[in-house]
């Protein structure tokens, strides 16, 4: 989590506003020199996380996203689905069933609430024509890896049959516990993959957040290659800082995107960086171009 914005609060309270569109940093040298939406290659299904652009009202974000060539908005709940539909955009990863990021499936005391929430939300996601719904392991609170896995399996097995009937995928996010989400349990790809194996359902997958996994384990491309069968969604951001994915940060996103495509991935890659430049839409355009391989 950035010091500038708490995702935990932003996921709950998206503040409507307008963005001042001024001058931003130049497009990085490894992106195309000039942005044009008709130049998008079509290999990556581009999305953008709503909470990162909370200062821009959703209608405006949808309009600007479509101009760029973005197909979907990430982390949007039922109250805003009509806006997305009005603009012909997908809800690439729905939210609204989770309690929060710290109280999750790894603790039985939250199971009753989570089972109720997800049992209500899964049919809504399906009825709206969407396919994915986010979930979280929650914090360890002293639980070792094995206990956390067992608790997650116990709880998730009570809602997965419903997800399977409605063709909705529950997607658990990998978050770093080193910097932004202290004590979070699903903080390494191997742990998340083991949970997928134990559940044995195509309706449970992982959200591989490139920013978070670079911080906690690194070896991004190798892990994508090894665990891609368990991944149904990707998030981006610059490391360090969670800002623009330009050449001010350490990850080389074109190579990462090529590695993702090489696995046969057909899902969404969502921009989840917090723009630090004044022209936030320009930053978003630039990020799409960097990732459009």
Is 1 part of a structural domain of the chain?
no
- The predicted pLDDT at position 113 comes to 98
Is 154 part of a structural domain of the chain?
yes
- The predicted pLDDT at position 5 comes to 41
- The predicted pLDDT at position 266 comes to 97
**Residue 127, Cβ density class (10 Å: 0-12 exposed, 13-18 middle, ≥19 buried):** exposed
Structural domain count, the chain: 1
Location of structure tokens 């050449």:
247
pLDDT, tens only, 61-71: 999 999 999 99
Predicted model pTM? 0.88
pLDDT, tens only, 192-227: 999 999 999 999 999 999 999 999 999 999 999 999
Q: Which domain holds residue 220?
A: 7-291
- Parallel/antiparallel/unpaired status of strands 204-209 and 72-76: unpaired
Is 141 part of a structural domain of the chain?
yes
- Parallel/antiparallel/unpaired status of strands 268-271 and 169-173: unpaired
CATH number of the structural domain spanning residue 132: 3.20.20.150
Nearest to 179 by CA among 151, 208, 214: 214
**Residue 32, Cβ density class (10 Å: 0-12 exposed, 13-18 middle, ≥19 buried):** middle
Q: Which residues of the chain are modeled with pLDDT < 70? A: 1-38
Is 268 part of a structural domain of the chain?
yes
Stretch (H or E) spanning 257 = helix 253-262
Cα 132 to Cα 95, 137, 273: the distances in Å are: 9, 16, 21
Is 146 part of a structural domain of the chain?
yes
């Amino acid at each position: 989590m950035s010091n500038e914005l708490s995702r935990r609060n932003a996921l709950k309270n998206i503040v409507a506003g307008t963005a001042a569109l001024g001058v931003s940093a130049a497009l990085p040298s490894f992106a195309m020199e000039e942005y044009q939406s008709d130049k998008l290659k079509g290999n990556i299904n581009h999305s953008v996380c709503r909470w990162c652009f909370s200062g821009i009202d959703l209608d405006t974000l949808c309009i600007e996203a479509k101009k760029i060539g973005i197909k979907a908005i990430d982390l949007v709940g039922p109250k805003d689905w009509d806006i997305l539909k009005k603009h012909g955009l997908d809800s690439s990863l729905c939210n609204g069933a989770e309690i929060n990021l710290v109280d999750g499936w790894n603790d039985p005391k939250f199971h009753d609430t989570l089972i109720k929430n997800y049992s209500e939300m899964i049919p809504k996601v399906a009825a709206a024509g969407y396919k994915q719904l986010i979930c979280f392991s929650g914090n360890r609170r002293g639980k070792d890896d094995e206990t956390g896995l067992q608790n997650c399996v116990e709880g998730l097995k009570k809602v997965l049959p419903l997800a399977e009937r409605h063709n909705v995928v529950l997607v658990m996010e990998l978050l770093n516990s080193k910097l932004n989400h202290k004590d979070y349990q699903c903080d390494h790809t191997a742990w998340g993959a083991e949970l997928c194996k134990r559940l044995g359902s195509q309706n449970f997958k992982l959200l591989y957040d490139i920013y978070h996994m670079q911080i906690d384990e690194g070896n991004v491309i190798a892990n994508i290659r090894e665990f891609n069968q368990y991944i149904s969604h990707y998030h981006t951001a610059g490391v360090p800082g969670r800002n623009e994915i330009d050449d001010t940060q350490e990850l080389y996103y074109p190579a990462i995107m090529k590695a993702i495509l090489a696995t046969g991935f057909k899902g969404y890659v969502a921009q989840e960086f917090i723009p630090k430049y004044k022209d936030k839409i320009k930053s978003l355009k630039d990020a799409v171009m960097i990732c459009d391989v």
